[in-house]
Structure 1
């Protein structure tokens, strides 16, 4: 499909911009891959390193802390539901009281 000279020049410029953007994206991808490889190595090193007694205690404390957080979260959910129920009941009672006194 033939195009005008101006359109051809604009397409060339857009192509050059696209190529530059692609090269930039490739560089970013390479940097990200290096960071990912570095993180994988760090995690692998941590997983295969010996665990000290202090680390074992910290892990146990963290596990207990997480279990306590989950228990508190459950308790808060129950209390919120009870609070909403009490609010609805108080609203209904106030409505009845207004109707009776009116």
Structure 2
């Protein structure tokens, strides 16, 4: 399909801009893939290396800490429920007291 000279020039400029943008995206992709490969190698190395005694102690402490956090979470939930119950009860008592005074 024939195009005018101006249209051809505009298409050529757009092609150059698109090509430059494509090169930028390719460079970013290459950098991202390189970081991903480095991260993957690090994770693989850490997963397959034997844990030191300090790491084992740290993992055990982390497990205990998580178990304690879960226990506290349950306790907080129970206390919040009790607090809400006490609040409702106090509200009802205050409402009844106002009715007696009136």
TM over 0.5: same fold?
yes
- The alignment partner of 2:69 has SS state of helix
TM-score w.r.t. length of structure 2: 0.73
Deviates more, 1:84-93 or 1:24-33: 24-33
TM-score w.r.t. length of structure 1: 0.73
Count of residues paired in the alignment: 102
Pair 1:91–1:43, CA change in 2 (3 A): same
Unaligned runs of 5+ in 1: 1-8
Deviates more, 1:52-61 or 1:10-19: 10-19
Cα deviation, 1:66-89, whole Å, max 9, x if unaligned, reads 101111111111111111111111
Cα deviation, 1:13-45, whole Å, max 9, x if unaligned, reads 777766655554444333322222211111111
Pair 1:94–1:23, CA change in 2 (3 A): farther
Counterpart Cα distance in 2 of 1:21 and 1:82 = 62
